[in-house]
Each structure stands twice: as structure tokens, then as C-alpha cells.
Amino acid sequence: MKPRSETPAAAGAAPGTAVASAPAAGAVALPGTVRLRAVVVDDEPPAREELIHLLAEIPAVELIGEAANGVEAVELIESKRPDLAFLDIRMPGLDGFQVVRHLSRRQLVPQIIFVTAFDQYAIRAFEVSATDYLLKPVERKRLVAAIDKVKGRVGKVEAPPSLETLLGALAARRGEHLSRIPVRRGERLGLVDAQALVYAYIADGTVYVVAGGASEVTSYRTLEELEADLDPAVFMRVHRSYLANINKVTEIIPWFSGTYRLKMQDKAATEIPLSRAQAKRLRKLLKW
């Protein structure tokens, strides 16, 4: 399903039809003249529609699209380049945090307002960061205050350091690892099941993953970034340029100077290098 863009501002408009939005009766005027181009991302249609309805009453916001999951959100934000994204936290595919991580690696993060009905500890963290949040059900007064706060930060294209720190802290506290890895498929974003990942490698500054078939391009800048998102009990850095799923190793082949080759369980039965230092770690893990 493609991202929903040019969201109708009036009830009854045909899907995909652009509708000029006039300030609704009782609209809230915000200080200044900045008009924020915004998108709404939420997998629950009632919550998404309610937020869109509230935003229609705020002249400082121009709604340019909506999405129903994390994959749609990445595609929508990459194509529309909004100033502001209202981002649900709990979503299928990629959650809100994973969407931001993915976009930050491509330096495409708009201003973010997280929308959540969960994660009380996350809310406390948001309160001391540059990132704002809204609790569901969203209150109109709180929404206006959050937008007003964002207006002074428009123009920054990178995730602020406090946001990166927050995302890392939340991931560490949850002890979570990605269950699916985002990959580029032309102009679209695909998801590869992490358990199906056979190995990953870096070449000419690009990180690739292999899950049985051909190599696919990721948005990770380094293997260290990908490794941090995966379960360390399953994925091991076997060489400076390779990361392997140790459950997908079918054969360990002695090589030169104490090094080895690992035959992997992909269609090509690819052999990847195992360094001497990492061979000691793998020997302990596999008890060979």
C-alpha cells in the first residue's frame, strides 16, 4: 500500500484528491507566519483521523500526507520532505523509533512529535529532550503548544544529538533488537526478516545484506550500526567487512595463516572470510 499524500482537508473528498484547506471555525492562530508542512503517521485509522481533524483547525499547519505504518512513513517522508511528522510509536513493520533511526542515517529527519498511548518512561525522557510528544487521546491545547515549540526549530535536517541519544537510551533500556531490516528496492523500502538474514558486508562505503538470494542495499553507514540493531547471540562480526548469522553457517573451512572461510546457507553457498581473532570467538560459541 502506497503512502497517502495530499490528504483531503474536508469530509467527503475523494481519496488522493488535493483539497485547499481554509482555517476552520474557531481555528487557533499561532504566533508568527511560519506554516509547517506536516505528515501524520499512525496505524490506527480513528487516531489518525482525529489528529488530522485537529490539525485542520490550526492555520500554521499544512497537512501534506498520511501513512498507516512505518514503511509507508519512510517512503512518505523521503518523497515529501515535510517540516514536521506526527509519529506513532507502536506500529507494525517499523515502529516510530526505527523510522527515525532509518531517516537519520540518510539525514532526512524532519521535526518529530511522537504520539503515544504507552511508554511512560519514554515520555519522561521526551520531557528533557528536544523532541516533543503527545499523549493519546490528543488534546487540542497540548497540540498547539507542541507545534508552537517546533516552529522555532524548522530548517534542521539532521536528528538533533539529543534525539539520537534518546533513541539509543530507549533501545538499551528495552533490550530490543530489530526483527526486520529495512532495505532499498528501487524507490521503495522493503523489509527483510532478521532471522532470515544470512550475512552482511560493506563494500565501497555501502552496507549490503544477503537473505538467501541477491545482495540488497541498506541505509546503514557502517557494519557497526547494523550490528548494534541485531541480536548478538545470533549475529557475529566475523571479519572487518563481514557480519554473519552463526545459525546460517554450514561449513568452516581452514584457510591460510590461521584464518578460515565460512560457507553460508544462501543460494550461492557463499564463502566469507573469518579472521584469526574472530575464529577464537566463534570456536567458543560453536564449541568446535
Read off the C-alpha cell for 62.
Answer: 499544512
Listed residues 174, 206, 229: the one ending a domain? 174
Which of 140, 174, 208 delimits the end of a domain? 174
| 52 plus 112 within the same structural domain | yes
**pLDDT score at 97:** 82
Q: What is the pLDDT of residues 94-139, one digit of tens each?
A: 888 888 888 877 777 888 999 987 666 556 556 555 568 888 899 9
pLDDT at 284: 83
Task: Specify whether 232 is located in the same domain as 199.
Answer: yes
**Positions in the chain whose pLDDT score sits under 70:** 1-34, 118-131, 154-176
Q: Is the same domain home to 270 and 211?
A: yes
Q: Under a CB-based contact definition with an 8 Å cutoff, are residues 180 and 166 in contact?
A: no
The answer as to whether 185 is a domain residue is no
Does one domain contain both 141 and 8?
Answer: yes
pLDDT at 36: 94
Same domain assignment for residues 113 and 209: no
Residues 163 and 251 in one domain: no
Residue 190 lies in a domain: no
CA distances from 244 to 215, 229, 233, 271 (A): 14, 14, 11, 11
What is the structure's pLDDT at 22?
39
The answer to whether the beta carbons of residues 213 and 266 sit under 8 Å apart is yes
230 plus 168 within the same structural domain:
no
Domain limits for position 243? 195-286
Question: Tell me, what's the pLDDT at 4?
Answer: 57
| One domain, residues 42 and 153 | yes
Q: Are residues 203 and 154 in the same domain?
A: no
Q: Is residue 179 part of a domain?
A: no
pLDDT at position 176: 64
How much is the pLDDT for 11?
39
Query: What CATH number is given to the structural domain containing 160?
Result: 3.40.50.2300
Say yes or no: 17 and 153 in one domain. Answer: yes
The reported pTM is 0.61
Helix H or strand E encompassing 243: strand 242-245
Asked if the structure places residue 186 within a domain, the reply is no
160 shares its domain with 227: no
